[in-house]
Amino acid sequence: MVHPRFMPRSSLLAIGLATALGAQAGHITTVDCNIDAYNLTGHTANDFDILLGGVAPADIGKVFLRPETYFPQVEVTAQTYGALIHYSGREVPHGGAVHIGYEISPSGPVNTIDQYWSWNGTRLGGPAFHCAAPTIERRGDVTNTSGADVWIQRRVVARPAAVDLQADLVRLSAFWTGALVIDGNPIALPQGQTRSHLFDDIGHGSYTLMYDVCADALCQDIRQTVFSSAFVTPEPGAAWLALAGALAMLAVPGRRCRPR
C-alpha cells in the first residue's frame, strides 16, 4: 500500500473529491407519478380517486390533466391522513383507460393509501399497482399486491435533468423510447413478491422506473403501466464537504527528493 506522503498531489486531489462526494447525503425534492389505468371493474366509471398519505394539498404542485383525451376535471382536498386527488367529468367504459398522475414536493415519506374507480362516488374497484418512486438509496421496487400472478417489463432512466410530468412520463414519448429496458422479455412476478432494481448512482438528478403490468408472459394483455420518478438533491453543504476533503488531501506534504 502506498503511503499518502509518497503519492502525487493530483492523485490525492482525486481521492479527496471522490471520498467527500461519496460520503454526501441527499434528499428527495420532487416525486412524479403517472399511471395508465385500465378500467377492469366490469362497469362504466366516471371518477378516479388517489389517496396519498403523508402529504398536504399544498405539497401537490402539478396534476396530469389533458381534458381533450382524459378526465377534464380534478380536485385536490385535505384528508385525515393526507390528500385526495379526485378526477371526474368523463365516462370510462369497462376496458377503457385513462392516464393520470401528479407531482409532489414531499416533506417526508409518501405512500399511496388507496386508488380506485367509482361511479358518482360509488366505489367500483381499482388498479392494484401503486406508484412507488425510487428511494433515496436509488432503489426502485415493484411489489405485486394484486392477488394474481402477473408479468412485468421494466424501463429505467437516471439523468441529471428533472422529468416533465406531461411530456416525459407517457408511453411512446422520447423519454420512454430512450429508456434502458432492463427486462428484455417480461418477467414473472407472483403475488406477494417484489422485484427491485438498483440504479447506478449519478448523485444529483432524477431516477425513473417505468413498467408494464401484464396478464400474460408475452405482455400482449397490458393491465396497467406505471411511471414513477424521484429527483434527488444533495444536502446543503455537501459541495463544501467535497471541497474540504479535497483541500485536506492537498495539505498532505508531498515527497521531497533528496540530493544524492
What cell numbers appear for 238 in the block? 455537501
| Each residue's pLDDT expressed in tens, for the chain with a length of 260 residues | 444 444 444 444 343 434 444 444 578 899 999 999 999 999 999 999 999 998 999 999 999 988 878 899 999 999 998 999 999 999 999 999 999 999 999 877 778 999 999 999 999 998 889 888 888 888 999 999 888 999 999 999 999 999 999 999 999 999 999 999 999 999 999 999 999 999 998 889 999 999 999 999 999 999 999 999 999 987 665 444 444 444 454 455 544 444 44
Residue 141 amino acid letter: D
Question: Which positions ≥6 away from 84 have C-beta within 8 Å?
Answer: 49, 50, 51, 52, 76, 77, 78
Question: E strands, 105-186, where?
Answer: 111-119, 122-125, 139-143, 150-159, 180-181
Q: Rounded to whole angstroms, how far apart are CA atoms 42 and 220?
A: 20
CA atoms within 13 A on the CB side of 171: 14
